[in-house]
Amino acid sequence: MSFVTIGVQRADAVHPVPHGRWAVGKTGFAVLAFLFEFLVVTSVSVACGVAYHEVMYGGVGLIENYLAVGGLAALIYTVPFAFRDEYGIDDFLEGRRASSRLFLVWNYTFLVLAVIGFLTKTTGVFSRGWLVLFYTVGLFGVIAADALISLALKRAIRSGRVESRRLMLIGSEEEIARHIQEIGGAQTNARVVVAGVLPDPANPDGEVSFDSVIERIVSSARLQRIDDVVVLVDLAQTPRIERIVSSLMALPVGIHLGASSLIGRFADPKIERFGRTTALSLTRAPLGPVEGMVKRAFDVVMASLALVLLSPLLVTIAIAIKADSNGPVFFRQRRRGYNHAEFRIWKFRTMTTLDDGPTIEQAKRGDCRVTRIGRLLRRFNLDELPQLLNVLAGNMSLVGPRPHAVAHDLHFEKLIQEYPRRLNMRPGITGWAQVHGFRGATETDDDMRLRVEHDIYYIENWSLVLDLYIVALTVLSPKAYRNAY
């Protein structure tokens, strides 16, 4: 696309999206998504009811009851998303409806159903077995429905069956050209249809005044039926931004300030107010108060239960270590925990050395320092079990970024900018990086960078469902045992 020096330029040719004859708009898509989820929940209720009664009683039962409960459950489930305007195209494209959120809303649905049944004294009318089956199958059903909607939406966008959001970009030629490329290369329903090129702020006395350019931009936005305007002006130029935004307020459009290179690094910046002070929040604490209590309660309950159930195994391992080689049963080493506070980690001793100084050599494949029983313990991650004591003490969590020796932390934090962020959450016995095979010795800096990327993903996307998923993968996935030596 070629730009004029100032004024307005059509941008259709830059990001062409062929629209089908029956392209669906954002309102139509929201209605279709709502109805599809409503139909899925109701259908699952009927299917589970018929299947359960056919197996248990040799008949289909009362289908009108299945329809009534299914329809009520569908209404309870879909209304919260509708009220929060979460049936939008971007909600599905950007993954805002995470599985953990669907899980919470589905549980809320059955809680409300239980309350309604109690108040209307109808809990005895419906089979508990059918309701349990409905809950289980329905949970997978709503998650699958969400995935199907997202997949169908992406295909519809590629084929032009969904109306694009019509964008206008306002800024310099260079900024506009860069953002058009970024928008064009993304999986999005946005399309830049017009660009407003501003006069150079270093030359305020140019041929055309700034105000006349803004007038032409506003007029063009109205004629082109623009949905959203993105202002690509340096945030330091506050007076210029204020003049542009004040003029755009006369349009029924969404007005957005383009993210600078700093703000663009963060996934979900928001506006916060502290009294009369307004601030742009780039990040929040990894866990809120309630989230922190939930995760801690999960850790204490599960770690206590694991210690009781595994106590015979722990005693057997301790005896085997003493019989296999000289030295203590346990190995304790300084590690960094939450907010870089140091603690001593508990592990079963698997080597003939107890390094804890400024230089620590990582275990290598075929390392002669590893004992016979130690090799077996490391192979199946059993040497980590004593860290359940660290979990109960509050130094660690069941799931989180793995803590490294202090000497290794001091080394890698100088090489990897994001490395210190790993300790914005309690370290874990297992983690997102470990179940993806990023464990053991880090032979190159890139090995550690990949581990850090997974750790930060976990911190930014924590949920109790994700913790349960990681615990399951730690036991079942072959990747969790990779590079164990």
pLDDT, one tens digit per residue, over 390-421 is 999 999 999 999 998 888 888 888 888 888 88
Contact 194, 9 (CB under 8 A): yes
Q: What is residue 32's predicted lDDT score, i.e. its pLDDT?
A: 92
Q: What is residue 364's predicted lDDT score, i.e. its pLDDT?
A: 66
Please say if the pLDDT value at position 39 is more than 90: yes
Q: What is residue 186's predicted lDDT score, i.e. its pLDDT?
A: 59
Please say if the pLDDT value at position 459 is more than 80: yes
- Nearest partner of 229 among 213, 211, 212, 247, judged by Cα: 247
CB atoms within 10 A of CB 76: 19
Q: What is residue 297's predicted lDDT score, i.e. its pLDDT?
A: 94
Q: What is residue 18's predicted lDDT score, i.e. its pLDDT?
A: 44
Name the DSSP class of 403: P
Supply the mean pLDDT for the chain: 84
- The share of the chain scoring above pLDDT 70, in percent, equals 87
Distance (Å, rounded) from C-alpha 385 to C-alpha 475?
13
- Pairing relationship of beta strands 165-171 and 228-232 according to DSSP bridges: parallel
Contact 395, 376 (CB under 8 A): no
Distance (Å, rounded) from C-alpha 391 to C-alpha 465?
19
Distance (Å, rounded) from C-alpha 12 to C-alpha 29?
23
Q: What is residue 291's predicted lDDT score, i.e. its pLDDT?
A: 87
Residue for token digits 């997202």?
Answer: 150
Q: What is residue 101's predicted lDDT score, i.e. its pLDDT?
A: 83
Q: What is residue 353's predicted lDDT score, i.e. its pLDDT?
A: 74
Helices (H) and strands (E) in the chain, counts: 14, 11
Q: What is residue 408's predicted lDDT score, i.e. its pLDDT?
A: 84
Overall average pLDDT of the 22-44 stretch: 89
pTM: 0.63
pLDDT class of 443 with cuts at 50, 70, 90: low
Overall average pLDDT of the 47-56 stretch: 91
The most confident of the ranges 35-49, 73-87, 440-454 is 35-49
- Residue 229 CB burial class (10 angstroms; 0-12, 13-18, ≥19): buried
Q: Just give the CATH number of 7-17+164-281.
A: 3.40.1360
Overall average pLDDT of the 343-366 stretch: 76
pLDDT digits (tens, 9 = 90+) for 292-333: 899 999 999 999 999 999 999 999 999 999 998 888 999 898
Which of 223-232, 310-319, 440-449 shows the lowest mean pLDDT across its residues?
Answer: 440-449
Give Cα 326 distance to the centre of its chain.
47
CB atoms within 10 A of CB 377: 23
Overall average pLDDT of the 196-208 stretch: 71
pLDDT digits (tens, 9 = 90+) for 174-194: 888 888 888 876 567 788 888
Question: Any idea where the domains of the chain sit in the sequence?
Answer: 7-17+164-281, 26-158, 289-481
Contact 413, 451 (CB under 8 A): no
Please say if the pLDDT value at position 95 is more than 60: yes
Q: What is residue 45's predicted lDDT score, i.e. its pLDDT?
A: 94
3-state secondary structure 100-169: HHHHHHHHHHHHHHHHHHHHHCCCCCCCHHHHHHHHHHHHHHHHHHHHHHHHHHHHHHHCCCECCEEEEE
Which of 150-159, 218-227, 312-321, 356-365 shows the lowest mean pLDDT across its residues?
Answer: 356-365
Q: What is residue 10's predicted lDDT score, i.e. its pLDDT?
A: 47
Q: What is residue 17's predicted lDDT score, i.e. its pLDDT?
A: 40
Inter-CA distances, 87 with 37, 55, 120, 268, 302, Å:
10, 37, 31, 19, 36
Inter-CA distances, 444 with 362, 397, 441, 450, 480, Å:
12, 27, 9, 10, 20
